[in-house]
Chain A
């Protein structure tokens, strides 16, 4: 007890700063809970009675399928690339992150058009395999297809988490497994997967949140998820309070899952020796190389190449009408806000994780993970709760803080923090706690310990966290739409405005800009990484 108290006193600063930051992140949630108290229950009861059971079924089914597909698409290539040396490995590694840069609704709209009756796929079949044309002429707007398309743009979360985790599993484990005579397949199941469980869980958490909050693609496919219920209350029944209450419910359901996940992953604690990076450990036969290439190429082909070719083709069709100045302006806008927010996010997440690590307080470790929870709410709902949070300040000071850059960046900051938490915490978990003691024994002060040990060891995770949060913020829609300053467009808002007016062809150039920038960013970071 006394020791605990001393520990607490020693870490008072860390505790206060982490708690304050977490409070800052959860502020909109708290506002929402307070806001939903004064509720006219008629609409709520109505939704509850008529729709929510039906909606919950669709939600669970969609979630299950999307996670299943994402697991298949994400884990396997991550293992191959982490554990094997083969030609084209680096380029695959780069390309497998990239589908994340394609917004889910663009992925879905594009494939819907590719697969439609007059689309390129059915045209090809009619021209070359006329006997099959009746078989392929079907309604592709199905929940199963939607799940596959969602996983095309979401599996990189899993890929990223597994890449970090697999490549940080030390030589010792892999060699031990080899010496015990386990094949690569057995090593994958007995060593790779169990040791990566926390990373896989955190990526699954992110993907689930994305699926729960997805609205554009989901409503286009005629699927009704829980979020459709939230928007039905808000948009169709004009009842924002019911929408808030439904969001709060969603938040608590996610919170329970979050606790369960923490409970399970806390059971698995491993010390993993670093200094023994374990890239490409297995010997390749020809057959295996063929398998590896096929798996990687098929995934890249469907999740990246096809949509990109489709968009490039669209961009050419309307190339006469492209406003280049506007495109450059929007790109600048997008990069500016994404860059500022991403830097803030990465610094904060890293700082929080570090503080909770050196203090070795369970409470702090738990609190620091709470910041992921703001991802559980639909972006539009967070946007509105921020407006209600800031409107008293508007009134009081007389200047317009709503619709200003600081609020927009604050909104990105709290919402996309979760995205950076996943890779960074996966990486922290792989660093042995023994290292902390060594650091103390060497007499390093926390600051030195931070800069000399933690930053270099987690460099890869920092880079990945930076990239995926940057790409995610570039794609952000709901927060930007409602919180942006006057006359301020980003590539994502422009893409959406065109797509929602059923002008998918015209929107292609803007989504291509998002993807190209994601590509440049990842390539540059990959380069710097391999040099160091």
Chain B
């Protein structure tokens, strides 16, 4: 839509030469200004469109948007970038922002956008009726679309399942030089730490963090898959990773990834009687404060949380559906059901600053 004018602009700029420039400076300036304004999107309220700022960039998202467009005729425009950048862009653009929806893979960022007054509430029962109530935002600023757990994986060779119990137990001395986990700048780890602060208090969380650092098999590095590979390579025995990465490894077309996936098993922590359950985080969607196409945006939210779209998510990713009746992918199902931590998910955002400070104080790089 915006491509053609800018090609003209480039041709125009190319044709400029010194002589013409002298004679026609004024005209050139005028033409350039016109061209620039044409190549900008001058009409942000086009009827059948929605504009999304998204942190998610999975292939399944494109599929969902395509299906939605086929069903409703509404065109979906997406800009994908890092959540912090998108939040900042939303803030700076203010009232003239073209964005209708904001999608992230970490609920902490949704909380932050809400906290910065960039979102508007969604009080539509039709949207939320299918969703497990435990996932919903008490403040109505965001809607969950999928969830995942941050689980413990352990070496099939060197660890027995009954040695594992809770996140808290990872601080036990028996794991000294055996624990693998990535850097504290990773938002999934920050969310986990926030949940510990919310559940156990900051003192306990800080003490836990120090002991975890003592148990590190190596300095934090690499991504979640690398922690699993490091177990397979014998560099450590247990790791903390997001559940879907194990699914990705086990379904990989590469032998080396398959082997790494097979070398470990998944363990959901804090499952015993009276325990709070395993830590979860959601991918979620929110309506921006100045959404120019609000009606269409609500339609998309409703679509993404519909049983049909939720089925598409579990068919194409290793995430869990937010509708309780929809079963996950076969590989994920084989790990069994688990009890989820029912903490208000907004805590994963509001405790974030404190979590980062605890990481730094305890030397978790």
- B residues less than 8 Å from A249 (CB atoms): none
Query: Is A433 in contact with chain B by the CB < 8 A criterion?
Result: no
Known: A404-B40, A482-B89, A486-B78. A222 touches B221 (CB 8 A): yes
Choose among A238, A402, A403, A481 the residue that contacts B82 (Cβ–Cβ < 8 A). Answer: A481
Decide: A403 and B79 in contact? CB cutoff 8 A. Answer: yes
Choose among B42, B82, B92 the residue that contacts A388 (Cβ–Cβ < 8 A). Answer: B92
Query: Is A131 in contact with chain B by the CB < 8 A criterion?
Result: no
Query: Is B256 in contact with chain A by the CB < 8 A criterion?
Result: yes
Question: Which chain B residue has the least Cβ–Cβ distance from A486?
Answer: B77
- B residues less than 8 Å from A406 (CB atoms): 6, 9, 36, 39-40
Q: From residue 229 to 256 of chain B, which have CB atoms closer than 8 A to chain A?
A: 229-230, 232-235, 245, 248, 252-256
Query: Is A468 in contact with chain B by the CB < 8 A criterion?
Result: no
Q: Interface centre among A116, A219, A398, by most B CB within 10 Å?
A: A116
Known: A220-B223, A237-B353, A406-B36. A497 touches B253 (CB 8 A): no
Query: Is B94 in contact with chain A by the CB < 8 A criterion?
Result: yes
Decide: B10 and A340 in contact? CB cutoff 8 A. Answer: yes
CA distance in complex: A235, B355 (Å): 13
Q: From residue 90 to 114 of chain B, which have CB atoms closer than 8 A to chain A?
A: 92-96, 98, 112
Decide: B98 and A497 in contact? CB cutoff 8 A. Answer: no
CA distance in complex: A58, B37 (Å): 46
CA distance in complex: A15, B330 (Å): 69
Question: Which chain B residue has the least Cβ–Cβ distance from A231?
Answer: B185
Query: Is A46 in contact with chain B by the CB < 8 A criterion?
Result: yes
Q: From residue 395 to 414 of chain A, which have CB atoms closer than 8 A to chain B?
A: 395, 397-406, 409
Query: Is A38 in contact with chain B by the CB < 8 A criterion?
Result: no
Min CB–CB distance B25 → chain A (angstroms)? 12
Tell me whether chain A's interface is mostly helix, strand or loop, or mixed: helix
Decide: B229 and A219 in contact? CB cutoff 8 A. Answer: no
Q: Interface centre among B39, B82, B221, B232, by most A CB within 10 Å?
A: B221
Q: Which of B126-134, B196-204, B356-364 contacts A (4 or more CB under 8 A)?
A: B356-364
Decide: B95 and A318 in contact? CB cutoff 8 A. Answer: no
Decide: A501 and B93 in contact? CB cutoff 8 A. Answer: no
Query: Is B190 in contact with chain A by the CB < 8 A criterion?
Result: yes
Q: From residue 475 to 509 of chain A, which have CB atoms closer than 8 A to chain B?
A: 481-482, 484-487, 493, 497, 501-503, 505
CA distance in complex: A112, B78 (Å): 32
Question: Which chain A residue has the least Cβ–Cβ distance from B252?
Answer: A505
Q: Interface centre among B78, B256, B352, by most A CB within 10 Å?
A: B256
Decide: B95 and A395 in contact? CB cutoff 8 A. Answer: yes
- A residues less than 8 Å from B245 (CB atoms): 502
Query: Is A139 in contact with chain B by the CB < 8 A criterion?
Result: yes
Decide: A118 and B89 in contact? CB cutoff 8 A. Answer: no
Min CB–CB distance A381 → chain B (angstroms)? 10
Min CB–CB distance B239 → chain A (angstroms)? 14
Question: Which chain A residue has the least Cβ–Cβ distance from B235?
Answer: A139
Q: A197-219: contact bitstring with B at CB < 8 Å (1 yes, 0 no)?
A: 00000000000000000000001
CA distance in complex: A220, B225 (Å): 12
Question: Which chain B residue has the least Cβ–Cβ distance from A384?
Answer: B88
Decide: A117 and B185 in contact? CB cutoff 8 A. Answer: no
Q: Interface centre among A380, A409, A502, by most B CB within 10 Å?
A: A502
- A residues less than 8 Å from B218 (CB atoms): 139
Decide: A137 and B84 in contact? CB cutoff 8 A. Answer: no
Min CB–CB distance A38 → chain B (angstroms)? 14
Decide: B95 and A493 in contact? CB cutoff 8 A. Answer: no
CA distance in complex: A106, B255 (Å): 21
Known: A118-B257, A222-B183, A336-B7. A401 touches B40 (CB 8 A): yes
Query: Is A447 in contact with chain B by the CB < 8 A criterion?
Result: yes
- B residues less than 8 Å from A399 (CB atoms): 37, 40-42
Decide: B356 and A501 in contact? CB cutoff 8 A. Answer: no
Query: Is A172 in contact with chain B by the CB < 8 A criterion?
Result: no
Q: From residue 72 to 87 of chain B, which have CB atoms closer than 8 A to chain A?
A: 77-82, 84-86
Choose among A113, A137, A447, A487 the residue that contacts B18 (Cβ–Cβ < 8 A). Answer: A447
- B residues less than 8 Å from A317 (CB atoms): 253-254
Query: Is A512 in contact with chain B by the CB < 8 A criterion?
Result: no
Decide: A222 and B51 in contact? CB cutoff 8 A. Answer: no
Known: A141-B222, A481-B81, A486-B79. A402 touches B233 (CB 8 A): no
15 contacts across the A-B interface (CB closer than 8 A): A117-B234, A141-B222, A236-B184, A238-B353, A318-B253, A339-B10, A344-B13, A384-B88, A388-B92, A394-B93, A399-B42, A486-B77, A486-B79, A497-B80, A505-B252
Please name 10 further chain A to chain B contacts, defined as beta carbons within 8 Å, in addition to the given A222-B219, A336-B3, A340-B13, sorted by A numbering. Answer: A139-B218, A141-B221, A141-B222, A221-B221, A236-B185, A391-B93, A400-B44, A406-B9, A406-B40, A501-B57
Show the binding face of B for A, using Cβ within 8 Å: 2-3, 6-7, 9-10, 13-14, 18, 36-37, 39-42, 44, 51, 57-58, 77-82, 84-86, 88-89, 92-96, 98, 112, 183-185, 187, 190, 218-226, 229-230, 232-235, 245, 248, 252-257, 259-260, 352-353, 356-357, 360-361, 365
Show the binding face of A for B, using Cβ within 8 Å: 46, 50-51, 112-113, 116-119, 123, 137, 139, 141, 219-222, 224, 228, 231-232, 234-238, 240, 317-318, 336, 339-340, 343-344, 380, 383-384, 387-388, 391, 394-395, 397-406, 409, 447, 481-482, 484-487, 493, 497, 501-503, 505
